[in-house]
Amino acid sequence: MTYDQEIRSSKVVLMEFYASWCPHCQRMMPVVAQVKELLDGRANVCQLDIDNNKEAADAADVRSIPSFLIYVDGEEAWRHTGEIDGEVLLSKIESFL
């Protein structure tokens, strides 16, 4: 699936850009996994490694990692760069559902 298809794959999509070598990204992995589980399919959660998805990262204008973007109907509605509390991230996603 292409990046454009991914951000339109559901009404609300959380897209995380990360890198396997980034310690902040590594700390966020279990947080994102828990958020995905708690959402229980109500929103798509996608994770893209910037080293393998440079074109998508460029298209989203990602300059720092981890970067979290929420898309609503394929349009960017919210963006956060850096570590974030799981409850804050979950409530932000739920605010768009």
22 belongs to the catalytic site: yes
* H helix intervals, 1-97: 3-7, 23-39, 54-59, 86-94
Choosing from 3, 8, 11, 22, the catalytic residue is: 22
* Residue of 13, 14, 25, 57 marked active site: 25
Is residue 56 within 8 A of residue 63, CB to CB? The reply is no
Q: Would the CA dihedral through 48, 53, 57, 62 be positive or negative?
A: positive
Examine the residue annotation and report whether 46 is marked as an active-site residue of this protein: no
Residues identified as active-site: 22, 25
